[in-house]
A and B are shown apart, each in its own frame.
Chain A
Amino acid sequence: MASDKLQIALYWAAACGGCDVAVLDTDEFILDVAAAADIRLWPIAVDGKYADIEAMEDGELDLTIFNGAVRNSENEHLAKLLRAKSKLLVAFGSCAHLGGIPGLANLTSRDEILSTAYLHNPTIERGNKTLPLPESGVNGSTLTIPGFYKHVYKLDDIVPVDYYVPGCPPAADQVKAVLQAVVAGDLPAVGSVVGASDRALCEDCARVKSEKRIKHFYRPWQIMIDPEACLLEQGILCAGPATRSGCGARCPSSGIPCRGCYGPLPGVVDQGAKLLSAVVSVIDSTDPAEIERIVDGLPDFVGFAYRFGMPASLLQRSVRQ
């Protein structure tokens, strides 16, 4: 294909569509993108099929923006295919970057998921024993669907990734900045996180911070929340101290605590471990029994600490037998 436009692809794996909507939320800018680039694959918006990608030369695509986690065999296949065909591969959004919310499935098991969804939930047809299968025979014909993996993976567990754009979804102005950087050839070192700052969310959060001395953690519905003061200071769990900024602090400024979607700060290998340190550091006690009582107020800490990044953590999943 003789074109001097950029050849780009945008693809979703185990995704919700929010990252593609984030690209569309750049509003008129998308028309500029369409003018500067041939969009060869973008399931949400324009033409392009797998066969089209398979037929390409390796490296024919200048850029692939890949969102979604790797949950099944089709996701893995497309990750490998697009890596081979792309000069640059960007992990876009929390799921591709860290595993995302689907990564919470790593705290349960494939069997539990399938049996809940297809056998045990209250509205399942009585007596149903059928489960979806990678291969099934119907009326003499064979039908196939992708294999559901035991665990969820992030993109760089499967293929090497050039850049990471964090967020769930990435903020629209960051999306624009990244696309413009690619077009201008103005990119940092390979492996960088782009479209986010290197500081913790707290630095950009407008809430007033003073001394943190917590004797009691509260669930957000248990108390009236002061709209000005730091949430953690009020005993409300907030992931801000261990989360990259760049999102505009949308959540805390609306009265809702951060849950860490922009991922860990530079140099951190396990965001949950850092969150744990941050949260316990505000406990105001030197008495072991009292400390135990205070942390009683933090149920499901694992689900909070690794809300968006279970597959990216050191343990990656539950090891319960």
Chain B
Amino acid sequence: MSRKISIDPITRLEGHGKIEIFLDDDGAVEDCYFQIPELRGFERFVVGRPIEELPRLVTRICGVCPASHHMASAKAVDGCFGGEVAPLAVKLRRMYYNAHYIHSHIAHFYALAAPDFVLGPDADPAIRNVLGVVAKVGLEIGGAVIASRSKAQEIQRIIGGRSTQDIWCIPGGVAKGLKLEELLEIRPMVADLLEFTQFSLQLFRDIVLANPTYLDVIANGPYTLDVHNMGLVDGNNAPDFYDGQVRVVDFEGKELHRYEAGDYAEYVAEHVEPWTYLKFPYLKQRGWKGFKEGIDTSIYCATPLARLNVADRMATPRAQEAFEEMFATLGAHPSRLLLAQHWARLVEMVQNAETLQMYCDDPEIIGDQFRVIPQRVTGEGIGIVEAMRGTLTHHYTCDANAICTSANLIVGTTNNNAPIQMVTRKVAETLIEPGTDPDQGILNMIEMAFRAFDPCYSCATHSMPGQMPLRVRVRRGGEVTHEFRRGC
């Protein structure tokens, strides 16, 4: 007689998710489903809207990473007008996006990831969250985290008017430029942020790398997948968060694909299952083969780790040092160790801060030619950026009056739907001993599987600090025989 373990809902994800684990007669994991119960229908209801409005509509897909949608959308919209953008606008957009990356990664690392490592994966659920982290590391560090996040948001606000629900990009450029007095405000904050990225790396070294238990979980735990990697790179194969070519590399390091944004539909397709609203992207040319690992799989990850896996190097010097240190420690590049996502975010923060500093030193950044007036409507545009959570694609068409006629979105976390499904199952299978009832510690370890991806399920979902309150009901023959609660 089989039984089912329901983890419902998974809280602290943006939106909702649930996990259903089915056990066979011996109590071993037979099936596991990671379900997303959300859909709002942006791909349909943006149709009929003036195309220049889309960058302000799609920010409402996600209030945590709206800048990612804003940028991808702006690029797709520019494409609908023939692709001409003021060069200064491109620099300013990159600068803005660097700032956004920094505060987003700070929020994720310190509020989501840190609790598991600062307080421990087995820590009391009541404190295993950002408030507990602040209590443990002290107000000085806690204050520095809050202040750094705030500075990065302020930089974004100074450049583009708002730090959330972005408004700034318009066809051909951006709505406002940067004045000298604004640049002078930004410059010292950028210097502070660069310091903070180094501080964060050091914190990671001190708390995670110096702790053999954590290193063991990262390196030897079941949090690995033999699937492929996707990310945007520049001409030097360094990560480019705003633009570039999409590069797909298998888990042994071989390049499988390299393409321009315009060709994305030849390389990526989406599979649908009836038990979840979220689609499953896969490598189109290999066909959907199911939730399988292995060199022939068509499943890929698009994550901070994937971005560093497809890169040969970073674009800036101190980030490069951090990159080399990371992969030397992990022992392989590409790395399949999914918990290294957390480290990858810190490395990315360094490149974002160094690039920000470079723009601060660019004398042209305070110019006034920050937009051009589009001369023609060409009717189609595809914009790809790296959202913090993965490769983000916006593909639009519009009519001759520049009214949207179609929209196709492949969102950061969506890319990772299948990997998350697979690693959750793998961890459940590994940690749930047949014939035993899983305890609270096991439940948290299952959560850590998807948490590493920083899933954004309002893009899909999003999650903040450590503890997932979980209730696990064990049923035999339809009756609840045991119930475990953790944090609820």
Contacts and interface: CB of A to CB of B under 8 A. Distances in A.
A and B touch in the complex (CB under 8 A): yes
Interface of A: 12, 14-22, 24-25, 27-28, 31, 34, 41, 43-52, 71-72, 74, 100-102, 104-105, 107-108, 112-113, 116-118, 121-126, 128, 130-133, 136, 138-139, 141, 143, 145-146, 148, 168-169, 219-225, 227, 250-251, 253-256, 259, 299-300, 303-304
B162 A254 contact: yes
Nearest to B77: A221
B37 A72 contact: yes
A288 B81 CA distance: 32
A20 B14 CA distance: 10
Given A47-B488, A130-B274, A141-B4, A17 B462 contact: yes
B41 A105 contact: yes
Nearest to A225: B175
Interface string B255-277: 00000000011001111111111
Contact of A300 (B43, B107, B274, B403): B403
Give the residue among B53, B59, B403 with the most A Cβ atoms within 10 A. Answer: B53
B165 A18 contact: yes
A237 to B, nearest CB: 9
A259 B54 CA distance: 12
Given A45-B130, A46-B129, A130-B274, A21 B63 contact: yes
28 contacts: A17-B62, A17-B64, A48-B488, A52-B488, A104-B57, A107-B45, A107-B48, A108-B44, A113-B44, A116-B41, A116-B43, A117-B44, A123-B268, A123-B410, A124-B272, A125-B269, A125-B288, A143-B35, A143-B274, A145-B37, A145-B275, A145-B276, A146-B37, A219-B402, A221-B373, A254-B175, A256-B168, A300-B403
Interface residues of B, number: 105
A168 B60 contact: yes
Contacts of A18: 60, 62-64, 66, 164-165
Contacts of A169: 63, 164-165
Interface stretch (B324-332, B349-357, B465-473): B465-473
A66 to B, nearest CB: 15
B81 to A, nearest CB: 7
Give the residue among B45, B47, B458 with the most A Cβ atoms within 10 A. Answer: B45
Contacts of B87: none
Contact of A256 (B131, B163, B167, B487): B167
B31 to A, nearest CB: 6
A105 B44 contact: yes
Contacts of A48: 11, 469, 487-488
B61 interface: yes
Contacts of A31: 131, 134
Nearest to A126: B269
B125 interface: yes
B25 to A, nearest CB: 13
B52 A138 contact: no
A121 B39 contact: no
Contacts of B487: 47-49
Contact of A105 (B40, B125, B129): B40
B45 A44 contact: no
Given A28-B143, A117-B44, A145 B277 contact: yes
B41 A117 contact: yes
Contacts of B162: 250-251, 254
Nearest to B370: A255
Contacts of A107: 45, 48
Given A17-B458, A130-B274, A132-B39, 15 more contacts: A22-B63, A47-B11, A49-B471, A72-B37, A102-B41, A104-B57, A116-B47, A117-B44, A125-B269, A125-B270, A139-B31, A145-B37, A221-B170, A250-B167, A256-B167
Contact of B272 (A28, A71, A118): A118
A115 to B, nearest CB: 8
B277 A43 contact: no
B373 A224 contact: yes
Given A43-B11, A51-B488, A168-B165, A303 B37 contact: no
Given A21-B64, A46-B465, A124-B269, A254 B176 contact: yes
Contacts of A224: 371, 373
A74 B60 contact: no
Contacts, number: 273
A300 B50 contact: yes
B388 to A, nearest CB: 13
A46 B112 CA distance: 11
A51 B473 CA distance: 12
B408 interface: yes
Contacts of B64: 16-18, 21
Contacts of B275: 132-133, 136, 138, 143, 145
Contact of A113 (B41, B406, B465): B41
A254 B168 contact: yes
B408 A113 contact: no
A308 B308 CA distance: 39
A143 B131 CA distance: 35
B161 interface: yes
Contacts of B272: 118, 124-125, 128, 130-132
B5 to A, nearest CB: 12
B379 interface: no
Contacts of B408: 121-123
B150 interface: yes
B22 interface: yes
B61 A16 contact: yes
Contacts of A128: 271-272
Contact of B48 (A21, A22, A25, A300): A300
Contacts of B13: 43
A302 to B, nearest CB: 9
A108 B42 CA distance: 11
A28 B144 CA distance: 11
Contact of A221 (B15, B60, B265, B374): B374
Nearest to B4: A141
B66 A251 contact: no
Contacts of B49: 104, 300, 303
Interface in B141-176: 143, 146, 150, 153, 160-165, 167-168, 170-172, 175-176
